[in-house]
Amino acid sequence: MTAGGANEVVVAGRDRYLSTVRELQSNGFELCADLCAVDYLGHMDRPLPEGAGRERFEVVVNLLSLSRARRVRVRVPVPESEATIPTLFDLYPGVEAMEREVYDLFGIVFIGHPDMTRILMPEDWEGHPLRKDYGIGRVPVQFKEAPGPR
């Protein structure tokens, strides 16, 4: 036994997001371990199950069942044109900081979240750094044509 990376994955549309998570919660997934997002801008041809929407963003929720020692991962495609998704705050209050982090770094708005503000970046920051079209901010180093010794 080395790692337990193989978890159950559910791909749910945005309209079925809340009901899916609610059903999982009532099925014993007491703890929302993690909530993050992925920007698939440069990897749109990723493998997806049949019928799942192929959108730029994906919100990924990791739920954990303590009673059954199981994990399930819910992947929700979120379109770029309307980057919004309902909040899970009413089901799992612990997602408060995680949803703020996703909003801060990806610009995905969680509707119904009590405090949809930036959490890691400064309040007046422009842009959402973890998006793939956001530059890495590296200063290019010019090795050629440097003035040589005279």
Partner 1 sequence: MTEPSDPRSDAESEPRPDSDLAAPITDQSEWEPHPGADHEPAGLVAETSEGTQEMTPRATTEPGELRREVGAVLRLPEGAAVDPEDIDVERGEDETMIINMGPQHPSTHGVLRLMLELDGETVLRTKPVIGYLHTGMEKTGEDLTYVQGATNVTRMDYLSPLHNELVYSLSVESLLGLEMPPRSDWIRMLLVELNRVSSHLMWMATNGMDLGSTSMMIYGFREREMVLAFFEKTTGLRMNHNFIRPGGTAADLPDGWEDDVTVICDTVVERTHEYDELLTGQPVFRQRTEGIGTISAEEALALSLTGPILRSTGVPWDLRRSMPYLRYDEVEFDVIVGTFGDNFDRYSIRLNEIRESVRIIRQIVEKMPAGDYRAQDKKVTPPPRGRIDESMEALIHHFKTFTEGFRVPEGETYVAIESPRGELGCYLVSDGSSKPYRMHIRGPSFVNLQGLPVMMRGGLVADAVAVCSSVDPVMGEVDR
To partner 1, the closest distance from the beta carbon of 139 in angstroms equals 14
Q: Which amino acid is at 39?
A: D
Q: Quickly count: other Cβ atoms within 10 Å of residue 32's Cβ.
A: 21
To partner 1, the closest distance from the beta carbon of 23 in angstroms equals 18
Nearer to partner 1, 5 or 51 (CB): 5
Nearer to partner 1, 14 or 34 (CB): 34
Rg of the chain in Å (alpha carbons): 19
**Distance (Å) of CA 58 to CA 35, 110, 123:** 11, 13, 24
In the complex, the residues that contact partner 1 under the rule CB under 8 A are 1-7, 30-34, 36, 38-39, 42-43, 46-47, 60, 62, 64, 66, 69, 71, 73, 92-98, 101, 105, 118-122, 129-130, 136
Number of H helices, E strands in the chain: 2, 6
